[in-house]
Structure 1
Amino acid sequence: MTHRALLALGFAGVAVHGVLAVVAPNAAGSGVLYICVAALAFSLVLARGIRVADERAVWLVLAASQGLWLLGDLSWEVLGDPAFFSVSDGIYVLSYVAQFAGIGLLMRARLRLLPGARWLDGLVVGTTAAAIVAAVLVEPIRRAAGDEIVEALFYPTLDLAVIVLIAVPIGMTAWRPGRTLGWLAGGVTLIAVTDVLYAGQTIDNTYVEGSLLATLWLLAYTAIATAAWQPVERRTFDADPRWREGIVPGVCGFVAIGVLAAAGVLDLGNGTVLLAAVAGSLSGLRAAVVFRAHMRLLHRSRAEARQDQLTGLPNRRALIDDLEGVVADGAPVTLAFFDLDGFKLYNDSFGHAAGDALLQRLGGRLTGAVGDAGRGYRLGGDEFCVLLDGDGAAVSDVLDACGQALREHGDVFAITASAGSVAIPAEAREAGDALRIADQRMYARKAERRGPARMQARDLLLAVVRETEPDLDEHNGDVGRLARQLGDHLGLEGDDLDIVVRAAELHDVGKVAVPDEILHKPGPLTEDEWQLMRQHTIIGERILAASPGMAPVAELVRASHERWDGGGYPDGLRGEEIPLGARIITVCDSFDAIVSDRPYAVGRSIREAVEELERCAGGQFDPQVVGAFAELVRSGALGLGVQHA
């Protein structure tokens, strides 16, 4: 807080000096006030360098610049108005040297890790700023200086160099210098403007000590002191949007052209023309760098759009483009689709990271199996594809090798691949037809391979339920049929829908372990009996999990009695923590229970059952699933008759 109070005091001193300069130029005490405010600004910069370790060297060097300038002012006051080049001038020159060094150190500390193009941005802005300052400030002094041109242009030229130096980091930050560079740039620019005005008044013999020019110098010193106490901002600008890259060269290029055009009309001098020409050339070079970078980005984007990022194989877009090309050529080729069997279980068991690593390995093997005979693709998920030159017997060995490449076995898992192929143009003359046929054949083969094993496990468990609890068998079948229609209505398909249906048919399989006196008790259950009853979902999960192919079904069975509000069992899952399949089963199971006769209750009508589901939506049931079920019932899509009417 101390430095803020001193800065406020400094600005107050500047204001007082400004009022005195207007009311009574060179009034008694104005010189003392000038020295006091300048000394305060110097002290603040020096204190920043001494008290704060971060960037200490920067602010000690800039404090030296301020101190030397103050010493030059004191020397000027003591020695009067000596001829050029005096002791005071020598001290001022040393001040400029320190200022150059301090700004350079600040750039090094604040602007780290910037790409090389950003340095070019800085040079573009620096030379453009130099051309503007030369045209607007320095050139009028040059024309008016006459024989004293060296003396008149000495300090404006040094100021021009400082402005160029401070403009470089501003250009590097894409016009976002931050508060420190902003205050510093304002201070040195104000010094340059004041020096030019001083040089002009000196030539005209109109300079008056203690005038507003002295106030402007004080304001510049105080601005530099303010810069010293701004928060440290180290900026890399790595995340800048690419559209920003065109702003710097574009604006500076137009400005440089404008200065060159004005030079032809106003005779701005060779120096201004040279600076504007350099700025324009650098701007053009920067624009070329931007164009090249954008073209490289465009080419990379096009390549990435045709490449699967996980495996590095060409993707579906690349396949369609390639397929359309070979169809147009008319040469015989073979398109084959492959879908992994067992990948979902592998992914669920070992995690997505292991699943991704498996896909990468299989993708590499597929590329090796294809070799020079064609090209392999990953279409997404666990689907791969190959496009081979030739058809029939010519590619049969390669197709077999591709199928073998997409296999992997372990102690507790087995990954294989179902395949479907089509010969082009013998079996399909259009790219769309070829894709459809290969896809259909692949899924037909997949169904043949997985159907018997899954259905055997399902049929075995249903037979056990049928022999032990015939009533449950009928109930489970009803719930399975409802779950299939509701799941289909909610957008489930393929494996996902099949898992939900099997889980619905087997959701009560764990009740075979519940004693009959509890399962068929006509009255309310005791708390101990409820505790035993609630174990049936866990028992069902254990029974189903004994078969690796039933693991996804076991997960849904365990969660089939969870509640949307978290009050269910066995895990107290809430909301979307409950798998969608389990939420579907819960609604279908409850509906069938409501409309069915039980030892302890008479079944109610379909209309009453739907109303009960809707009443409990948001508590026991997922509101979205209940809404979909009610829609199916009321539309008659479930084929439940007209009891709801």
Structure 2
Amino acid sequence: FFSSLKNPPFPSFDDALYLSFYPLCYVGLGLLVRAQFRPASRVLWLDGLIAGFGLSALAAGLALQPILNATGGSFAAVATNLAYPVGDLLLILVAVGVVGLSGWRPGRMWTLITLSLTAMAVADIVYLYQVATNSYVEGTWSEALWPLSSLLLVYALSSRPPRQGQPVGAGWRAITVPAAGALAAIGVLFVDHGNIHINDPARYLAVATMLVAIVRIALTFRASQLRERASRVEALTDPLTGLGNRRMLTEDLEATVRIASETDPRVAILYDLNGFKHYNDSFGHPAGDALLVRLGQNLAATVAAHGRAYRMGGDEFCALMKPGNAPMDALVAATRAALAESGNGFQIDAAHGIVVIPFEAKSASDALQLADRRLYAAKDRRPSGVSRQLRSVLLQVLDERQSSLHQHLEGVAALAFAVGRRMSLDPEVLDVVVRAAELHDIGKMGIPDSILNKPGPLDAEEWAFMRRHTVLGERILSAAPALIPVSKLVRSSHERWDGTGYPDGLAGRDIPLGSRIILACDAYDAITTARIYSDARTQAEALAELARCAGTHFDPEVVAALAAVVSAGSDGALVRLGDSLSETFGRAVTLFPS
């Protein structure tokens, strides 16, 4: 109808119908995106905007200037002429942006939609460019793009839609398209600063591209920081309990070693659960995991005011604390109570090993090793401990073999414990000394009764046979790996300070200190106990005899410590090692009020 008029109106009703395509298309795309995609991240939106703005800037720079130059007339005419290229540029922007939302993995449907919209935009822009430059000829290739775009759109919408929430792409696709858009914008701005003038819309689109790219870089940097922080937290956190793991403990220990001082000490305590394997086997691994979570939370809450709790792995935990003015005995008891739980058919408690920093360890590795040794020494001291059971068996065998030895061994062990404490021996060392004192006569199992029970003095041959008992004792005890440290002290338990003892003729400080203590305590108990061949003598007489032989038979320092113990009345019953922190810490316990 309008084509038959001599001066057809512009803009006309036809233009309104043509231009209505753009808002309808945008609304349709929006509804389709909402139905097909999960809420996209800001990064994907920005990637789509970068690519869309950049390619739109390139298209505007290449084709828009002639269209702008040819545009004239009324405001309505100018607005209508510009609406087509602007709408087409927005189509390109939307099409590329939607592909960006898919993580640059659009699938068949969105690929066809993008090709359709791009073909339509290219056809419109080419047509407007040709009209503006008076080079338009009917029947050219560009006109075929209009029906092609419609066919592509219909085919796309008739195909099976992708599953909702497609996975976001990764790798080169995630950066190639937005990078191309940014490079296109840079190219437009670069050309604009040369001899070629770029129109304002292209320039504005290029600037918008760079601004969005800057925001994208800032978000990427922030996301990288958050990922690094989350990765570090994950690397330092036990995934089951949420407590710090061994790596975090090592880092915290290294920092603690640097800041701890004699006036401001720190305490590291390792814990190992007793009864957890039985619980796991009885109730299953999920129940075991739940128990570990509960106990870990209990421990964390208990030490929160003084430090931090950690899970080392398995059923091992750790606490690193600054005791301050808190009574250490009560604090440690509270942490052990936090790791205890009982019920029908199970009983969970914890053995522990404790180390005081900086008094007992100068590095994180030393602190962990010492606490670990003390932990397993404590576990071994339990009635169910392997070496404790071996000790009980051997002592029972000795008692069956020679019942009179039992009381003697208990007396020597009790006195050795008191002397060792007097000399401030390390708790683990003291424990080995006590066990060696209990078992120092185990080799007499291989000595005939005729020699052991002979009422008179032994002849040379009998004495030579008797002197073998320390070597026999070492051989018996070393068969159990847990008792090898004990066996070494037993072997040297009859070496003399002046080198006249047996079996190796060691002298002075070449003799292990534990063996020197056992020798003096054994002699004291023998002197003060009635034997077949001699009567018991008084404490004063025994101490006088030891003092007379100090420097020849006995270590003078050991004799002095033994005399102090006996004089103070401290040679009572054997106290279980580790029952109190005062025993465990030795000298270091004076740091704490308790």
TM-score bucket of the superposed structures, by smaller chain:
0.5 to 0.7
Partner residue of 1:112 out of 34, 38, 61:
38
Contact (CA 8 Å) 1:339, 1:419: kept in 2 or not?
A: yes
After superposition, where does 1:244-643 map in structure 2 within 5 Å? 250-265=179-194, 266-331=196-261, 332-390=265-323, 394-449=327-382, 451=384
Letter in 1 for 2:287: A
Structure 2 spans left out of the alignment, 5+ residues:
394-594
Letter in 2 for 1:216: L
Q: If you compute each CA radius of gyration, which structure gives the higher value, 1 or 2?
A: 2
Letter in 2 for 1:324: E
Mapped to 2, the partners of 1:80 and 1:170 lie a distance apart of 46
Residue 118 to residue 452, structure 1, CA distance change in 2 (3 Å): closer
Q: CA deviation at 1:417?
A: 1.0
Higher relative contact order (CA 8 A, sep 6+): 2
TM-score (norm 1): 0.54
Letter in 1 for 2:207: A
Residue 195 to residue 445, structure 1, CA distance change in 2 (3 Å): same
Mapped to 2, the partners of 1:242 and 1:300 lie a distance apart of 21
What number of residue pairs does the alignment pair up? 385
- Who is 1:212 aligned against? 141
- Who is 2:111 aligned against? 182
Q: CA deviation at 1:134?
A: 0.9
Give the match's secondary structure for 1:309. coil
| Residue range with higher mean Cα deviation, 326-335 or 293-302 | 326-335
Contact (CA 8 Å) 1:246, 1:290: kept in 2 or not?
A: no
Matched, 1:236 2:236: no
- Who is 2:150 aligned against? 221
Residue 79 to residue 217, structure 1, CA distance change in 2 (3 Å): farther
Deviations 1:67-95 (A, max 9, x none): xxxxxxxx788889945323322221223
Contact (CA 8 Å) 1:306, 1:314: kept in 2 or not?
A: yes
Mapped to 1, the partners of 2:328 and 2:143 lie a distance apart of 91
Structure 1 spans left out of the alignment, 5+ residues:
1-74, 461-645
Mapped to 1, the partners of 2:139 and 2:224 lie a distance apart of 55
Mapped to 1, the partners of 2:15 and 2:363 lie a distance apart of 87
Q: CA deviation at 1:113?
A: 2.4
C-alpha RMSD over aligned residues: 3.2
State percent identity of aligned pairs. Answer: 39
Contact (CA 8 Å) 1:252, 1:283: kept in 2 or not?
A: no
Deviations 1:357-376 (A, max 9, x none): 11111111112222322222
Letter in 1 for 2:197: D
Contact (CA 8 Å) 2:238, 2:311: kept in 1 or not?
A: yes
Matched, 1:134 2:63: no
Mapped to 2, the partners of 1:455 and 1:427 lie a distance apart of 26
Q: CA deviation at 1:189?
A: 1.3
Letter in 2 for 1:223: L
Letter in 2 for 1:341: N
Contact (CA 8 Å) 1:316, 1:378: kept in 2 or not?
A: yes
Partner residue of 1:162 out of 91, 95, 100:
91
Contact (CA 8 Å) 1:110, 1:234: kept in 2 or not?
A: yes
Residue 456 to residue 79, structure 1, CA distance change in 2 (3 Å): farther
Mapped to 2, the partners of 1:393 and 1:145 lie a distance apart of 87
Residue 376 to residue 201, structure 1, CA distance change in 2 (3 Å): closer
TM-score (norm 2): 0.59
Deviations 1:418-457 (A, max 9, x none): 1111222222222212211211121122123253699989
Q: CA deviation at 1:117?
A: 3.6
- Who is 1:202 aligned against? 131
Mapped to 1, the partners of 2:313 and 2:385 lie a distance apart of 27
Residue 393 to residue 437, structure 1, CA distance change in 2 (3 Å): farther
Residue 313 to residue 180, structure 1, CA distance change in 2 (3 Å): same
Residue 390 to residue 201, structure 1, CA distance change in 2 (3 Å): closer
